[in-house]
Amino acid sequence: MRIDIITVLPELLESPLSHSIIKRAVNKGLAQINIINLRDFTTDKRRTVDDYQYGGDAGMVMMIEPVDKAISYLKSQRNYDEVIYTSPDGEKLSQPMANHISTLENIIILCGHYKGIDHRIREHLITKEISIGDYVLTGGELAAAVITDSVVRLIPGAMSDNESALSDSFQDNLLAPPIYTRPADYKGWKVPEILLSGNDAEIDKWQFQQSLERTKLLRPDLLEIDNS
């Protein structure tokens, strides 16, 4: 899988995308992540990529020309399944969405910045808008890192245990059950006996019941989601 991230602040993405599972996936050749500096696609001597917005409102806006040039350059090299824009008013990132994106071959992620981007970019160049929550960040770089992490970890072979992701929270619209490790008794705080029983069928039943109860208590909205 190839992920090309267009940004005005490449430094913000260097560390989050250079460690742990993402690094392992890249080293294995399972994922290729490229950081593209938007300023490389402007002819302005000061490498400016933003300008005042029409209408007189406050806040600078990312200009259409450098974004169009960057996306056009990438598209001249290969076909892309999605051109994603990180936006607070996009569709909220979910586990099913991450599952789907992880099956794609090539994607572009455009990081918003300043007050936002010229709306014509959204109308003509973007195929999907994604939000990571109902709040506003300084820029879309952190959102792009979150999207990339949530997707790359799902690529077969990226994780040391390929089945681990299947038991994550939000798979099947349920929160994960409680998990424990050694020691089985710490200060009198004991691991549930069922987990020590070795009875896989009963453990599965217990874990499902715990997932259901935790979801009802903490995220009842998940039980109302229909993914059909």
Q: What is the pLDDT, as a whole number, of residue 8?
A: 96
User: Using one digit for the tens of pLDDT, what is the confidence trace for 37-76?
Assistant: 999 999 888 899 999 998 878 889 999 999 999 999 999 9
Q: What is the pLDDT, as a whole number, of residue 165?
A: 55
Has residue 24 got a pLDDT over 70?
Answer: yes
CA 157 – CA 61 distance, rounded (Å):
40
Find out whether 145 and 41 touch, Cβ atoms under 8 Å.
Answer: no
With H, G, I as helix, E, B as strand and everything else as coil, classify residue 111.
strand
Position 227 confidence tier, pLDDT thresholds 50, 70, 90: low
Q: CB neighbours of 223 closer than 8 A, spacing ≥ 6? A: 173, 215, 216
Q: Where are the domains of the chain?
A: 2-152, 169-224
Find out whether 75 and 129 touch, Cβ atoms under 8 Å.
Answer: no
Lowest mean pLDDT segment, chosen from 36-45, 92-101, 218-227: 218-227
Q: What is the pLDDT, as a whole number, of residue 43?
A: 85
Please compute the mean of the pLDDT values over residues 108-117 and round it to a whole number. 92
DSSP 19-88: SHHHHHHHHTTS-EEEEEEGGGG---TT---EEEPTTS-SSEEE-HHHHHHHHHHHHHHS--SEEEEEEE
Q: What is the pLDDT, as a whole number, of residue 145?
A: 97
Which has the closest alpha carbon to 39: 67, 61, 14, 60?
A: 67
Q: Is the model's pTM score more than 0.75?
A: yes
Please compute the mean of the pLDDT values over residues 15-36 and round it to a whole number. 95
Find out whether 62 and 112 touch, Cβ atoms under 8 Å.
Answer: yes
CA 117 – CA 50 distance, rounded (Å):
9
Residue 2: burial class (beta carbons within 10 Å; 0-12, 13-18, 19+)? middle
Question: For the chain, what is the mean pLDDT?
Answer: 92
Find out whether 106 and 151 touch, Cβ atoms under 8 Å.
Answer: no
Top-level CATH class of 2-152?
alpha beta
With H, G, I as helix, E, B as strand and everything else as coil, classify residue 120.
helix
CATH homologous superfamily of 169-224: tRNA(m1g37)methyltransferase, domain 2 (1.10.1270.20)
Q: Which amino acid is at 182?
A: R
Q: What is the pLDDT, as a whole number, of residue 55?
A: 87
Position 163 confidence tier, pLDDT thresholds 50, 70, 90: low
Q: What is the pLDDT, as a whole number, of residue 228?
A: 47
% of residues, the chain, pLDDT over 70: 93
User: Using one digit for the tens of pLDDT, what is the confidence trace for 166-223?
Assistant: 555 566 788 889 999 999 999 999 999 999 999 999 999 999 999 999 999 999 998 9
What separation in angstroms does the CA of 48 have from each of 1, 42, 52, 71, 139?
A: 31, 7, 12, 17, 16
